[in-house]
Each structure stands twice: as structure tokens, then as C-alpha cells.
Amino acid sequence: MVEKTNIFEKFERRNLSAKSTRLLNEWKAIHELLDDNRYVSYIVRHTNRDDVPDEYEIIYNIRSIVGVEEPAEITVDENGKQIKKRLRMPVMGKQHKMQIKIPPEYPNAVTGKPSFKMLTDIWHPNIRYFGDLKGRICLNESNLDAGNTIADRIMDVAFYLKYERYFAQNEPPFPEDEDVALWIREEGEPNKWVASDGKMPTDDCDLYEKPEKMEEQPKAAEDAKEEKKPSEATMDDIEIVQDYEMEQQGMKPPDWANEDDQDSEPNEDEKPFVC
């Protein structure tokens, strides 16, 4: 087995400034979290004078909602009755990119806040979809310390993309994008495309899964996918979304799953939503 190169060794031998040392520690945490991660990876886009990263691009390979279709008449089941409604079906995408910029004043709580911005379209109530601030992500980025790092924020966004975490109510702390939040309340949740308790994720991937774990139980993972049952209003709805993805990406996405049987999943992401 080939031993991995210590990419931080040359930095550890230097007499770095306090700010660069903090940035180096953030980089180490990001690398440790994302190295060999199947679903999330990173690219260093810029470094400071000490050659320590102060700008990243994060790549997410997670099935998520990237927009909605034009309104169309869809037949849905409500209490055993077939009802026709004009709905905006979700459009799905698989790869998403986020930019993180860390200002020179970091970690100053006022002038040194890192910025988190989606570079690709994401339809999520806590990510701005419309307007001049398109891509802005609602994160409590000022609250970054040894126990709450930029690496943690990267995974927070991953849970956003999976729709395991969101806030869409028209009340404090308020959604980042009210138009998307309105769709969530009036169409997304009633038709069981998403759920505020996180039990209807758009992707059932394990964000902390490592390659060795995948190799140990490949058959079990495939069996689990085959046993999943769709949770949408109708199979016709599912086929519309899947057909779109197949045309756009040349691949068939995993079925949306009924997550009622996952009460035993870890609750680490169940924390108060703060913008």
C-alpha cells in the first residue's frame, strides 16, 4: 500500500503568522473531511502570501433540486381521489459547485466573515435563486471557531442539497429566498417531494462514506436501493423528473425513497436552523 504524501509538511516547518496558521488548520480540517470522499471534493483556487489557501471551490456530487418546470397539469392522489393540479415539477441535477472566499481579516467576526456562494443553480429556500445576490447561502458564517469550522459549513451545505435540512416558514429567521420557500410550502411539501423533518431527501447517499466502506458491503448497498419505494404523489410524477435527468445527464438517478424507516439514523444534523 502506497503511503499518502503529507501535503502540509512544508507548511508545518515554516514560521507562519497567526492568521496563516488559522487558515492552515482550516485547510487541514477540510482535507481530512473530503479526502477520498465520494460525494464532496475541493479545489484550491487562491492562496495568500504564505501559500495557504484562502479561496476554495467545493464540488458536490449529490442529487438535488436545481429548478422547477413551467406549471403543468398533473394528476395527484389525495385521500384516494385522483385530482388534477397545475404544479411546477422539480428539476433535478447531480453536480453542484460552491465558492468559499476567506478575507484577509478572517477570523474577525465583523470584517472577516468567509463568503459562501453557489456557482451553479440550486432551488433551496436557504440559498438565493433570484436577483443580484443569486447563489448566496444562508449560513451563520460569523460563528466559526475550533468547534465549528469552515469544514463544518461545507457539510451543512451538503445537507441543504440533500434537502435533509431547510427552513421555509415565513417567520424569523426567514428563508433566504421567499419565492423558493413558497414553492416548498405550497407544492414541495404537500406533494411529498421534500419534508421539513428531512425524511424525504433528494439523495440517500451517506456523506461520510469512504471507499473502503463501499467495497466492504457493495451488495448490501445495492439491495437497499432496490427495496426503496417511491414517495412521490404518483409514479407519473417520478417518471417526468427521471426522464428529464436521463436526457440531460445520460444516466438514471436513484429513486426517491420513503425514509420513514430511517428513525435510527444519526441525529447530528438535527440542530436549530440559524441564518
Query: How many residues are recorded in the chain?
Result: 275
At 59, list the grid cell: 464540488
Please tell me the predicted confidence (pLDDT) of residue 262: 42
> Percentage of the chain surpassing pLDDT 70?
72
pLDDT single digits (tens) 58-102: 999 999 999 999 999 988 787 888 888 899 999 999 999 999 999
- For the chain, list the domains and their CATH numbers: 13-258 (3.10.110.10)
pLDDT single digits (tens) 2-44: 456 789 999 988 899 999 999 999 999 999 999 999 999 999 9
36 versus 236: the higher-pLDDT residue is 36
Please tell me the predicted confidence (pLDDT) of residue 142: 56
pTM of the entire structure? Answer: 0.74
* 121 has pLDDT over 70: yes
Please tell me the predicted confidence (pLDDT) of residue 221: 47
* 231 has pLDDT over 50: no
**Rounded (10°) angle between helices 150-161 and 18-34:** 40
Please tell me the predicted confidence (pLDDT) of residue 257: 41
pLDDT single digits (tens) 156-170: 999 999 999 999 999
Band the pLDDT of 210: cuts 50, 70, 90.
confident
Please tell me the predicted confidence (pLDDT) of residue 263: 44
Q: What is the 3-state secondary structure (H, E, C) of the chain?
A: CCCCCCCCHHHHCCCCCHHHHHHHHHHHHHHHHHCCCCCEEEEEEEECCCCCEEEEEEEEEEEEEEEECCCEEEEEEECCEEEEEEECCEEEEEEEEEEEECCCCCCCCCCCCCEEEECCCCCECCECCCCCCCCEECCCCCCCECCECHHHHHHHHHHHHCCCCCCCCCCCCCCCCHHHHHHHHHHHCCCCCCCCCCCCCCCCCCCCCCHHHHHHCHHHHHHHHHHCCCCCCCHHHHHHHHHHHHHHHCCCCCCCCCHHHCCCCCCCCCCCCCC
* 179 has pLDDT over 90: yes
C-alpha pair distances (Å), 23 with each of 43, 46, 91, 173: 15, 12, 37, 30
Q: Tell the residue number behind the cell numbers 435563486, with chain if given.
A: 129
CA atoms of 45 and 53, how far apart (whole Å): 8
Q: What is the mean pLDDT of residues 228-234?
A: 43
C-alpha pair distances (Å), 118 with each of 28, 59, 60, 108, 123: 22, 10, 11, 23, 11
CA pseudo-torsion sign 196, 96, 241, 228 = negative
CA atoms of 147 and 155, how far apart (whole Å): 14
Please tell me the predicted confidence (pLDDT) of residue 223: 52
Please tell me the predicted confidence (pLDDT) of residue 4: 66
Please tell me the predicted confidence (pLDDT) of residue 109: 76
* 252 has pLDDT over 80: no
Please tell me the predicted confidence (pLDDT) of residue 141: 62
pLDDT single digits (tens) 188-198: 999 999 999 99
155-160: list long-range contacts, CB under 8 Å, 24+ apart: 155/33, 155/40, 155/207, 157/58, 157/60, 157/98, 157/116, 158/39, 158/40, 158/60, 158/62, 158/207, 159/198, 159/207, 159/269, 160/122, 160/124, 160/126, 160/127
CA atoms of 59 and 96, how far apart (whole Å): 6
* 55 has pLDDT over 80: yes
